[in-house]
Structure 1
């Protein structure tokens, strides 16, 4: 229940923010760094105490093996990854693992990125068709996050499981940063 109220408050705060013009060129932004830093600050227990819980989530290699994404595909993949991260950290079980204030700020930052990317995707859809590879990449991202969700469920959403996931999501944010640099 508390998480639902927190998420609603974040959405209300975002809904009341002033409208701004959006530069849809993918580039690293201050917001990406802020989101990464918030996730880093969310550490509650040392990953060293959770080494027995580590696992290979099998990050989709097709996304990193030198793929040259078109701008539209990069936007779609980034949006899917951020949406999956937002959904993951919006789960009821995540509130137990994290400081509520940091979690709210983290979710608010993700929500803002998602809004911006949705606007860009709409503009790009009007100009061109999404490339065929885009759907394959998005499906790979969905499978990857499904595996993360199954891991959390198997580990009964323990603090160590969440810490392992937090570290993995930092990798995802780093990948997004690299993707937006290209």
Structure 2
């Protein structure tokens, strides 16, 4: 389902027909929104992972795509969009609504939605310059596999409170990497 939503997002963005210039400039509040999301996720903690020893999991975040070799700008935008979209999709489920404070969850969703909207012109521009092959490249696929693992884990654990707590921590790690990627993109300008 997450893949379908991501593909639909790309199609909507492509159908908008926005034209871009060389390079993509993210709004200045893009990093601030990610920092706000981290604060909200911190406030959403209901239980400790220490109280869930049977649910411990390492989702194996693909850090190499962000912290390793220099990612091209086009790949960075695609990875950034993919990460934000998958996080948004996770938090959009009914199960997420029952796991967390809905006020905080809705604020988090609104911030992520704004970030995805801000990325639309960048995606249109990169799709025009790079073509659709961008979405099937290694870094984007690694992000997709990572979040697919999280979806499967939640399903296996029947969306328990403990499972959601481990997912919350994983999302916080992902958002920290999103901030790193956003800073890298800002430095490319």
Range of TM-score over shorter length = 0.7 to 0.9
Provide the C-alpha distance between the structure 1 equivalents of 2:72 and 2:133, rounded to a whole number of angstroms: 11
**Over residues 76-112 of structure 1, what are the superposed CA-to-partner deviations in whole Å (9 max), with x where a residue is unaligned?**
1000000000001111111111000011000010000
SS at match of 2:52: helix
Aligned match of 1:102: 104
Q: Is the 8 A contact 1:80 1:141 kept in 2?
A: yes
Q: Is the 8 A contact 2:66 2:180 kept in 1?
A: no
Provide the C-alpha distance between the structure 1 equivalents of 2:149 and 2:133, rounded to a whole number of angstroms: 24
**Over residues 54-95 of structure 1, what are the superposed CA-to-partner deviations in whole Å (9 max), with x where a residue is unaligned?**
111121244145121122211110000000000011111111
Q: TM-score, normalised by structure 1?
A: 0.79
Provide the C-alpha distance between the structure 2 equivalents of 1:61 and 1:38, rounded to a whole number of angstroms: 23
Aligned match of 1:137: 139
Structure-to-structure mapping, 1:1-182, within 5 angstroms: 24-26=24-26, 29-64=31-66, 66-126=68-128, 128-129=129-130, 135-182=137-184
Unaligned segments of structure 1, at least 5 residues: 1-22
Which deviates more, 102-111 or 27-36? Answer: 27-36
Q: Is the 8 A contact 1:72 1:130 kept in 2?
A: no
Provide the C-alpha distance between the structure 2 equivalents of 1:65 and 1:104, rounded to a whole number of angstroms: 30
SS at match of 2:130: coil
**Over residues 5-48 of structure 1, what are the superposed CA-to-partner deviations in whole Å (9 max), with x where a residue is unaligned?**
xxxxxxxxxxxxxxxxxx94357621111111111111111222
Please report the RMSD computed on the Cα atoms of aligned residues, expressed in angstroms: 2.1
Q: Is the 8 A contact 1:57 1:148 kept in 2?
A: yes
Change (3 A) 1:130 1:58: farther
Provide the C-alpha distance between the structure 2 equivalents of 1:151 and 1:35, rounded to a whole number of angstroms: 22
